[in-house]
C-alpha cells in the first residue's frame, strides 16, 4: 500500500493530523472556494490587513512624523522586513531588502554586477524563465550600447518544459560574466540545483544569482550554503505580501562594497542621508541598493504577511507543500489520466517546487470551467493548468475536492461551452 488513499475520509484524516492546519485561520478564505493560485497572488491575511491599518493610523496621527515618531520604524522598514524574509532563506538579515519590483530588481542586478570586459562579457539566462527577466536583461545590455544577440546567451530547453542540469552548467563558459537563473520554473515547477550551479559558477569566476519568485516562502532555501552573489523575487506570491508588493533583493555581504548600479538617495548611508550631500555613499547592507522612498502602505501588507511565519519553520511548510503536491499527483494518476490529463512537472521532491503543472489539450476551456466551479487555478500557454496548494492555507480536503470537481467537469463536458481562448489575466 502506498502512502495515500482515494477516499475523502483519508483527506480529512490528513487534515486532522496536520500540525500546520491552524495557519489557515490567519487568512481570508471563502467558503466553498478552492484557491489554487497562491503562486500568482497569495491570499490576504488578518496580519497583513492589521499592519496596513496601523500604517494608515500612523499617517493620520503623525503626518511627516510617520518616519521618525511612529512605534513602527517606517524609515528603516525595508531593513526590518528584509530581516524577516532573510530568516526564511537563511541569509544574514542585512543581506536582504525590499524595494521596487522584480523586473526593476533584475535591472538593478545587471547594472550592479555586469562589468563586461573584452574576454568576459556574456550574460547567461534560460529560455523558460518568466519573460520579463529576459526583457530586462536584454534592455540593460542594449542601453549600454552592446548587442544583446552577442551578449545574452540563452540556455535552451530540450523538452520545452524543463532545463537539463548539464546544459545549465555547460553554458558557463570562459566568456561568461554573469548568470541569472530561476529557482523554480514558473510553468513546469522544476526546481534547479542552485547550490551546485552557484559552486560551479564560483569555480569558474562567474557571478551568479537567482530569481526566487516561485520559491520564496515555500522552498526551504539555505543561502548560507547556496552562497550565490545576488537574488531577487516578488513578495506577492507564496509570501502573500499583497498585490504588487515591493520586491525582494538579496546581495551577498561580500559585495556590500561594490558600486551600486542604479543609485538613489534612499540607498544612502542612513546617518548622512538627510544631509543631502552631493555625492552618494551607499549603506553597507542590501539597503544600499534602495533607490527612492518605498511605499509604506504596501510594505505594511508584506510586513504583516510575514508575521504569519512567526513560530513556523520554513522546512515544515516545504514538507507539507511537497506532501500536498504528491497527494495531488497521486489523485491525478488514479482519477484523471483516463480523461487525457498528464503531469507536466518533475516528480522527484528534490527537483520540484510548490505547484503541479496539470496538462491537457483542452486546458484553456477546462480552466474556465474550473473557475465557474469555484476553483481558482491559472492557465499558462500552451496547455498547462497550474495548481498551487499553498501549505499555509490549503487543506488536504481542498486537494481532494479539486480533483472531484475536475472529474465532474470532464464527465459532464461542462468545459465544452467555453471558448478556446484565455482571459487577459489567465
Ligand atoms: C511573477 C514573476 C515576475 C513578476 O515580475 P514583477 O516585476 O513583479 O511584475 C518576474 N519574474 C518571475 C520569474 C516571476 O515568476
Put simply, whether the predicted model's pTM sits higher than 0.85 gets the answer yes
pLDDT at 377: 96
pLDDT at 404: 98
Q: Ligand 1: does its nearest atom lie under 6 Å from the Cβ of 103?
A: yes
CA-closest residue to ligand 1 atom 3: 102
Report how far residue 346's alpha carbon sits from residue 322's, in angstroms, rounded to the nearest whole number: 12
* Residue 134 cell numbers, joined: 529576459
Helix axes 102-113, 131-143, angle to 10 degrees: 40
Q: Identify the helix (H) or strand (E) that includes residue 181.
A: strand 176-182
Please say if the pLDDT value at position 425 is more than 80.
Answer: no
N residues, the chain: 426
Q: Which atom of ligand 1 is nearest to the CA of 104?
A: 7
Q: What is the mean pLDDT of the chain?
A: 97
CA distances from 117 to 75, 77, 90, 245 (A): 38, 37, 33, 36
Q: Which of helix, strand or coil describes residue 177? A: strand
Terminal CA-to-CA distance of the chain, rounded, Å?
38
Q: How far is the CA of 407 from the centre of ligand 1 (A)?
A: 32
pLDDT per position as a tens digit, 117-137: 999 999 999 999 999 999 999
pLDDT per position as a tens digit, 296-337: 999 999 999 999 999 999 999 999 999 999 999 999 999 999
Q: Which atom of ligand 1 is nearest to the CA of 247?
A: 8
Q: Ligand 1: does its nearest atom lie under 6 Å from the Cβ of 101?
A: yes
CA-closest residue to ligand 1 atom 13: 130
Q: Which atom of ligand 1 is nearest to the CA of 40?
A: 1
pLDDT at 274: 86
Q: Which atom of ligand 1 is nearest to the CA of 244?
A: 8
Q: Higher pLDDT residue, 283 or 419?
A: 283
% of the chain with per-residue pLDDT over 70: 99
Q: Ligand 1: does its nearest atom lie under 6 Å from the Cβ of 213?
A: yes
pLDDT at 232: 98
pLDDT at 247: 98
Q: How confident is the model at residue 168 (pLDDT cuts 50, 70, 90)?
A: very high
Q: Which of 126, 181, 213 to mutate to test the pocket of ligand 1 (most atoms within 8 A of CB)?
A: 213
Q: Answer whether 238's CB lies under 8 Å from 257's CB.
A: no
Q: How far is the CA of 10 from the centre of ligand 1 (A)?
A: 36
Q: Ligand 1: does its nearest atom lie under 6 Å from the Cβ of 29?
A: no
pLDDT at 145: 97
pLDDT per position as a tens digit, 32-78: 999 999 999 999 999 999 999 999 999 999 999 999 999 999 999 99
207-211 and 176-182 as β-strands: parallel, antiparallel, unpaired?
Answer: parallel
CA-closest residue to ligand 1 atom 10: 102
Q: How confident is the model at residue 424 (pLDDT cuts 50, 70, 90)?
A: low
pLDDT per position as a tens digit, 78-111: 999 999 999 999 999 999 999 999 999 999 999 9
pLDDT per position as a tens digit, 20-29: 999 999 999 9
Q: How confident is the model at residue 2 (pLDDT cuts 50, 70, 90)?
A: confident
Assess whether the previous peptide bond of 373 is cis (omega < 30° from 0): no
pLDDT at 421: 79
Q: Answer whether 267's CB lies under 8 Å from 46's CB.
A: no
Q: Answer whether 187's CB lies under 8 Å from 384's CB.
A: yes
Taking the CB of residue 174, how many other CB atoms lie within 10 A of it?
10
Q: How confident is the model at residue 420 (pLDDT cuts 50, 70, 90)?
A: confident
The CA radius of gyration of the chain, in Å to the nearest whole number, is 22
Q: Answer whether 327's CB lies under 8 Å from 14's CB.
A: yes
pLDDT per position as a tens digit, 336-372: 999 999 999 999 999 999 999 999 999 999 999 999 9
pLDDT per position as a tens digit, 187-242: 999 999 999 999 999 999 999 999 999 999 999 999 999 999 999 999 999 999 99
Concatenate the DSSP letters of all residues of 191-205 into one string.
BP-HHHHHHHHHHTT
| Nearby residues of 390 by Cβ (< 8 Å), 6 or more positions away | 35, 38, 39, 42, 43, 218, 238, 240, 321, 354
CA-closest residue to ligand 1 atom 15: 213
Amino acid at each position: 500500500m502506498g502512502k495515500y488513499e482515494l477516499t475523502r475520509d483519508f483527506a480529512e484524516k490528513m487534515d486532522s493530523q496536520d500540525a500546520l492546519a491552524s495557519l489557515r485561520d490567519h487568512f481570508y478564505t471563502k467558503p466553498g472556494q478552492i484557491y489554487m493560485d497562491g503562486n500568482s497572488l497569495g491570499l490576504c491575511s488578518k496580519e497583513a490587513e492589521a499592519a496596513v491599518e496601523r500604517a494608515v493610523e500612523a499617517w493620520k496621527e503623525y503626518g511627516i512624523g510617520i518616519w521618525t515618531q511612529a512605534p513602527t520604524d517606517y524609515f528603516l522598514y525595508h531593513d526590518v522586513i528584509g530581516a524577516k524574509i532573510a530568516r526564511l532563506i537563511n541569509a544574514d538579515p542585512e543581506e536582504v531588502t525590499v524595494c521596487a519590483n522584480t523586473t526593476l530588481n533584475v535591472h538593478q542586478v545587471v547594472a550592479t554586477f555586469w562589468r563586461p570586459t573584452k574576454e568576459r562579457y556574456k550574460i547567461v539566462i534560460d529560455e523558460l524563465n518568466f519573460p520579463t527577466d529576459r526583457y530586462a536583461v536584454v534592455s540593460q545590455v542594449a542601453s549600454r550600447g552592446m548587442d544583446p544577440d552577442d551578449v545574452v546567451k540563452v540556455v535552451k530547453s530540450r523538452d520545452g518544459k524543463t532545463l537539463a542540469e548539464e546544459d545549465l552548467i555547460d553554458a558557463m563558459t570562459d566568456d561568461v560574466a554573469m548568470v541569472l537563473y530561476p529557482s523554480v520554473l514558473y510553468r513546469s515547477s522544476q526546481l534547479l540545483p542552485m547550490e551546485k550551479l552557484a559552486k560551479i559558477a564560483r569555480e569558474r569566476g562567474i557571478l551568479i544569482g537567482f530569481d526566487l519568485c516561485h520559491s520564496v516562502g515555500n522552498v526551504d532555501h539555505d543561502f548560507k550554503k547556496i552562497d550565490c552573489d545576488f537574488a531577487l523575487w516578488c513578495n506577492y506570491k507564496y509570501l502573500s505580501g499583497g498585490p504588487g508588493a515591493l520586491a525582494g533583493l538579496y546581495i551577498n555581504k561580500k559585495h556590500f562594497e561594490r558600486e551600486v548600479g542604479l543609485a538613489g538617495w534612499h540607498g544612502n548611508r542612513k546617518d548622512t542621508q538627510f544631509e543631502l550631500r552631493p555625492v552618494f555613499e551607499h549603506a553597507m547592507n542590501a539597503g544600499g541598493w534602495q533607490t527612492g522612498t518605498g511605499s509604506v502602505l504596501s510594505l505594511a501588507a508584506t510586513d504583516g504577511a510575514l508575521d504569519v511565519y512567526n513560530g513556523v519553520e520554513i522546512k515544515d511548510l516545504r514538507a507539507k507543500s511537497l506532501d500536498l503536491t504528491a497527494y495531488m499527483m497521486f489523485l491525478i494518476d488514479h482519477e484523471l489520466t483516463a480523461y487525457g490529463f498528464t503531469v507536466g512537472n518533475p516528480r522527484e521532491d528534490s527537483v520540484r517546487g510548490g505547484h503541479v503543472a496539470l496538462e491537457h489539450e483542452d486546458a484553456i476551456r477546462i480552466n474556465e470551467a474550473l473557475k465557474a466551479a469555484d476553483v481558482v487555478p491559472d492557465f499558462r500557454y500552451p496547455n498547462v493548468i497550474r495548481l498551487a496548494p499553498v501549505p499555509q492555507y490549503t487543506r488536504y480536503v481542498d486537494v481532494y475536492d479539486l480533483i472531484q470537481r475536475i472529474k465532474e467537469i470532464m464527465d459532464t463536458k461542462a468545459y465544452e461551452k467555453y471558448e478556446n481562448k484565455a482571459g487577459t489575466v489567465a
